[in-house]
Amino acid sequence: MQNIEQKLALQLAARQAAGNLRFLRLPEGMIDFCSNDYLGLARNQELHRQIGEAYAWEGEPLNGATGSRLISGNSQYAVELETWLASLFKADKALVFNSGYAANTAILSAVPQKGDTILYDEYIHASLKEGARLSFAGRFAFRHNNLDDLERRLKKASGSIFVVAESVYSMDGDSAPLREMLDLCEKYGAHLIWDEAHSTGLWGTNGNGLACEMGLQDRIFARIYTFGKAMGVHGACIAGSQTLINYLINFARPFIYTTALPLHSLVSIREAFHFLDKHPELPPQLHGKVTFFKQKASAYLSLGSQFISSGSPIQALVIGGNEKTKSVAAQMQQAGFDVRPILAPTVKEGEERLRICLHTFNTEQEISHLLEHLTSALQ
Ligand SMILES: Cc1ncc(COP(=O)(O)O)c(C=O)c1O
């Protein structure tokens, strides 16, 4: 019989043979075209100072939260932050979670019950799928952004129905058709769970996301916003009704059984939004870089059609095959561009891709050079 070490080693060897072994690497000083720091806030020294000053104002804060929010980890600051986030996101209430991963597993594992149905876009984030797996509800994927397939599933669904979709899909960069999806949800009495991880900070007033920008927030059952991407800090919140938030406080295990975020993280969230409020030029600057990238890719380099259509800072070029995709990424990295290959099983086999993330701090010259190198790496 194999011992456990041999069993694990065999699985790692299989990954190695398939060309998709994951490993940790340190930053190597290349030009960042892969991080989620779209607005450059994670590296912004003015924001860093602002967080330090605001934190110092809090007197002699605890270094850690000391426990779960339900035991010793709650604070006046957390409660006020949540009231403020609820008003930013135009919801009755907001509840902070330690990460988007925790928020997503929380809502999907806790809210849909036995006899209910979860219908999810096949491309939703792993954390949403994980939450659905933990739920006792039935769960079915519908084809990516395909409303006909969603409707076919809705017709067969039973119990309370939950539809799960994202404002920006993390591996494709495209968006769910929110308005049409809500029309369908309302037709079949379904509730939408809407993840705004990659749109928080980038759309809407003071970064309150796509649903608020479209004025559709009141038709959505639950919205998830994360702060570790464009906001440059850490954590997440769920925005929804008073009843939903009370329910999560009572039944969501990733909220109940974990140490709350420390004050420093809460201050960082608040200050990141203050900073964005003082710098409204940042999201338009980013959208300008996206437009430049797309124009350059299609008009000058005939690469446009190879990219998945996306108005977000995530631009994905499907190459196909782990080895080929890794080889193109390696050539880009040798040229100094930090572009990462996204391989199967993170995406479907045959859809392996380069995922290029654009940032306010990427210059037009860097973007042009990146695309020129990409054109030659693809030949
Ligand atoms: C769509 C989506 N939702 C949720 C998450 C998880 O958020 P966090 O990084 O805060 O755990 C991610 C992270 O990549 C994501 O892409």
Answer positive or negative: Cα dihedral of 28, 30, 34, 38.
Answer: positive
Q: Is residue 15 part of a domain?
A: no
CA distances from 255 to 22, 246, 360 (A): 29, 12, 34
Hey, whose CA ends up nearest to atom 10 of ligand 1?
Answer: 100
Ligand 1 atom with the smallest distance to the CA of 234 is 10
The 3-state DSSP composition of the chain as helix, strand, coil percent (nearest 5) reads: 45, 15, 40
Residues 254 and 366 in one domain: no
Ligand 1 neighbours by CB, cut-off 6 Å: 99-101, 104, 125, 127, 166, 170, 195, 197-198, 226, 228, 236
Residues 256 and 290 in one domain: no
Pocket residue to mutate for ligand 1, from 198, 226, 234, 357, most atoms within 8 A of Cβ: 226
Q: How far is the CA of 19 from the centre of ligand 1 (A)?
A: 25
End-to-end Cα separation, the chain, in angstroms: 48
Residue with tokens 């594992």: 109
State the maximum Cα–Cα separation within the chain, in Å, rounded to a whole number: 63
Task: Yes or no: say if 341 and 325 are a contact pair by the CB < 8 Å rule.
Answer: yes
> 324: closest CA among 349, 293, 302, 305?
349
Hey, whose CA ends up nearest to atom 8 of ligand 1?
Answer: 100
CA distances from 229 to 45, 191, 200 (A): 17, 26, 8
The pTM (predicted TM-score) of the whole model is: 0.96
Residue with tokens 């308005």: 179
Q: How far is the CA of 209 from the centre of ligand 1 (A)?
A: 15
Residues 167 and 307 in one domain: no
Residue 304 in tokens = 């446009």
Residues 266 and 285 in one domain: no
Residues 160 and 308 in one domain: no
Q: How far is the CA of 299 from the centre of ligand 1 (A)?
A: 33
Residues 222 and 152 in one domain: yes
Neighbour count for residue 61 (Cβ, 10 Å): 16
Hey, whose CA ends up nearest to atom 16 of ligand 1?
Answer: 170
Catalytic residues: 36, 125, 166, 170, 195, 198, 229
Neighbour count for residue 343 (Cβ, 10 Å): 23
pLDDT, tens digit only, all 379 positions of the chain: 679 999 999 999 999 998 889 999 998 899 999 999 999 999 999 999 999 999 999 988 899 999 999 999 999 999 999 999 999 999 999 999 999 999 999 999 999 999 999 999 999 999 999 999 999 999 999 999 999 999 999 999 999 999 999 999 999 999 999 999 999 999 999 999 999 999 999 999 999 999 999 999 999 999 999 999 999 999 999 999 999 999 999 999 999 999 999 999 999 999 999 999 999 999 999 999 999 999 999 876 677 678 899 999 999 999 999 899 999 999 999 999 999 999 988 898 999 999 999 999 999 999 999 999 998 888 8
Residues 148 and 231 in one domain: yes
Looking at 260, 278, 296, the residue that finishes a domain is: 278
Q: What is the CATH number of the domain that holds 294?
A: 3.90.1150.10
Task: Yes or no: say if 354 and 329 are a contact pair by the CB < 8 Å rule.
Answer: yes
- d(Cα 306, Cα 272) in Å, to the nearest integer? 35
Element (H, E) at 156: helix 147-156
Hey, whose CA ends up nearest to atom 4 of ligand 1?
Answer: 100
Q: How far is the CA of 125 from the centre of ligand 1 (A)?
A: 7
Hey, whose CA ends up nearest to atom 14 of ligand 1?
Answer: 170
Task: Yes or no: say if 293 and 357 are a contact pair by the CB < 8 Å rule.
Answer: no
Ligand 1 atom with the smallest distance to the CA of 102 is 11
Element (H, E) at 324: helix 322-334
Task: Yes or no: say if 66 and 258 are a contact pair by the CB < 8 Å rule.
Answer: no
Look up residue 317 and give its amino acid: L
HSE (CB half, 13 Å, CA atoms) of 76? Answer: 2
Residue-range definition of the domain harbouring residue 210: 58-278
Q: How far is the CA of 197 from the centre of ligand 1 (A)?
A: 6
Element (H, E) at 17: helix 4-18
Pocket residue to mutate for ligand 1, from 37, 229, 268, 346, most atoms within 8 A of Cβ: 229
